Each structure stands twice: as structure tokens, then as C-alpha cells.
Structure 1
Amino acid sequence: MRGATKVVLVALAAGALGVAASLLIGGPGPLLRTEPGQRLAQRLLQANAPPPPGGVAVAERGGQVPVFSVAALDGGQWVLPGDFAGRPLLVNVWASWCGPCIEEMPELDRYARAQAGAGTRVLGIALDDADAVRGFLERVPVSYPLAIDTPGNADAGVRLGNPRGVLPYSVLVSADGRVLKQRIGPFEHGEIEAWAQH
């Protein structure tokens, strides 16, 4: 028994050293591109996060997205998840001042165009000022719908499971409104299709 315990401890230590070496050599990017890395990052973000204000429900992986509304950039509002029921939805929380958000937007737009019709829909929610977003879109236009929310401890990102407000942040929601996946950080070219497999 003692020998087996020692082998397990050595294996765990070697694994931890491998992860540490990977982070030192390549930064967190390679780890964050894996599903286990994303789950670990999500747990770390939620650990000791300030609680949301009373009455604010927060989505969890596998659970239903709590009902909330966001202002559509072009007027009106959307209620999530109900207004998007019937097809999977990729929600991307971003801001016009966020460099990685800006870099991934052409990839999100490419994916949204490829999914048009019967595939996964894309919704961008900017935690930003509407005028700043409109100005940004004149330079970097996208075809998918956009919404605006006020940053804070009850914004759309928090409600979708991102209590620390790290951007960009994406959530894959099933056709019946459940959280399938959460992602911290930007998508690189060609990553969304594999990530959005459900």
C-alpha cells in the first residue's frame, strides 16, 4: 500500500511540474485551449468571488441560464434564454476597449455566417457604452446581433457565470437554455467549430 501511495504522489508531482513548465514556456494559452484547462480556470475565477447582489441568479455548467434581459444595440431588448430558444446559442461577452475581444471578432463573425440558417446562433453582449460600440463597429463590422449591458456585479457576464468580469468570455447555451460550455479568453481561427460541438 505504501508503495502504491508513493507512486501516485510521484505521478501527481510530475503532472504538476509538467503543467508549471507548460505555463512557464508557453504561457496560459495552451492550457486555456483545453476543456480541462477551461474548467480549472472557471473554478479559479469563481473561488472567493464576491457574491452577486441579492436576487441575481448565476448560470452554472449543466444548469439553466437564468432569465435576464439585455438591450439590443439597434433598439429594443432581448430576453435570454427565451428569445433564442430552439437553436444553440454562443454568447460572447466583450468590450470595445478589450484587445483580445477585438482580435476574435472576425472569427466570431466568420462562424456566425457559416452557421446562418439552422446552426448555432451568435450573440455579442458588449459591457460598454453604446456610442463606443457603434464607433467600433464602423471599423470592425460584424453580422451577428449585438446587445449592450452596463458593467457591474449583476451584468450579463456575471449572470452567465463570470463573476470576475474577465473578457472575452463565451458561453455555449443549448437549444433548451442550458449552459453547455463556458470559455475564458479569445478564440483563434478555426477553434470555434470544435469548441461548439455539443
Structure 2
Amino acid sequence: MNRRDALVWGATAVFALLAGGLGWWIGLRVHAPERPPPPGLVVVEPGQPLSPLTLAGLHDGQPRELAGPGRPRLLNYWASWCGPCRDELPALDAFARSQAPNGVEVVGIALEDAADARAFAARLDLGFLLLQEAPGPRDSSVRFGNARGLLPFSVLVDADGRLVKTHYGAFADAAEVAGWAAPVTSSD
């Protein structure tokens, strides 16, 4: 075997080990065990109304109320350091832009420092509302069912303000988002 072939085989082996290690780590995260909520924290179950939630707009800092009746909503928790979150944002944006004025409202909630989220979001042309919340054991993602502490995490809310279902992980495309949100989309 010549030197070039040895380098190719060596690089292939290193890549395979790295890919295997990354796959193992992702598998641990996706299948992370659910953790009990902190004492006194009430977790909303499917069919129950969302607890009151007011978060600051990512760009303007203005408070936005998200609980209660109104349009159906898809709340998506993300962070700029989260690769699957970054990959998923275009699918959420395409879905959001496909919705009629009374359709599903997509709301992105950055679970990180506002300055970091703002800097990342400035590079994107997202057509949906972006909010920010400090991450922690009592953040709204945990109250709405994120018992694994994973991102991205999505919450589907009906027009009456009741939790319909949750989703761990990234959506691949707008069609997958639409299929997942189908229980709250209007047929008229």
C-alpha cells in the first residue's frame, strides 16, 4: 500500500469513528430519559389549557401573551447553538408562510441569551414571531412537556388555547410540519 492509500484509509477510519461517536451521542440525547419536573411545577397535559405565558419579543423586547384562545399555534423551542434547530427553521418558515391569516401561527422561542439569538436570527429572513426565554428547569418548554430537556421541541396548541401534542426533534420539511399540525388546521 502506498502512502496516499494509507492516508485515505486512515482518514476514512477516523471519519467512521467520529461519525459513530456522533451517532451514539445523538442517540443518547434523542432517547434521553424523561426527568421529573421540579417540585411545585405543574406540567400541562394534552387537552389542558396552557398556563399563562408572556415572553419578550426577540427583536423589540415587547411582551407577548401566548396562552388563551385565538389562532392555533405551533410553539417551537430552539437555540442558535443547536444544529437540528438551525436545520429545521427553514421548514418552519415555509409552513408559517403557507398559513392563511387564521391558520396556524408559528412562534419560535429561543431558549438562550437574547443577544446570541438575535445575532443568529439577524442572518435569517424568518416570517414568524420570534420570542426569547431564559433556559432553565422551570422554563415554559418544561411546563409544556419537555421532560427530556431537548431542542428542538415543539408544542401544538388549538384555537381554544389547549395543548394538543408535543414533538421532540427537528421537522425535515414543511410537509412534515403540516402533517404534524393537521389536528388544528381548518378545513374551510
TM-score by length of 1: 0.72
Question: Alignment partner of 1:196: what SS?
Answer: helix
Contact 2:157 2:163 in 1 (8 A): yes
1:91 aligns with 2:78: no
Residue identity opposite 2:101 in structure 1: G
Q: Following the alignment from structure 2 to structure 1, what is the Cα–Cα distance between the partners of residues 126 and 176?
A: 18
Contact 1:53 1:153 in 2 (8 A): no
Q: 1:142 aligns with which of 126, 133, 145?
A: 126
Offset of 1:53 from its aligned partner?
Answer: 4.3
Q: 1:197 aligns with which of 171, 182, 186?
A: 182
Question: Alignment partner of 1:171: what SS?
Answer: strand
Question: Alignment partner of 2:90: what SS?
Answer: helix
Offset of 1:69 from its aligned partner?
Answer: 2.0
Match of 1:79 in 2: 65
Offset of 1:45 from its aligned partner?
Answer: 4.6
Contact 2:37 2:142 in 1 (8 A): no
Unaligned 5+ runs, structure 2: 1-22, 24-29, 184-188
Residue identity opposite 1:50 in structure 2: P
Q: Please provide the CA RMSD for this pair.
A: 2.1
Q: Following the alignment from structure 2 to structure 1, what is the Cα–Cα distance between the partners of residues 52 and 85?
A: 25
Residue identity opposite 1:132 in structure 2: D
Match of 1:173 in 2: 157
Residue identity opposite 2:52 in structure 1: V
Q: Following the alignment from structure 1 to structure 2, what is the Cα–Cα distance between the partners of residues 177 and 70?
A: 16
1:69 aligns with 2:54: yes
Structure 1 residues 150 and 111, CA, compared in 2 at 3 Å: closer, same or farther? same
> How many pairs were matched up?
154
TM-score by length of 2: 0.75
Q: Following the alignment from structure 2 to structure 1, what is the Cα–Cα distance between the partners of residues 180 and 171?
A: 9
Unaligned 5+ runs, structure 1: 1-26, 28-37
Match of 2:16 in 1: none
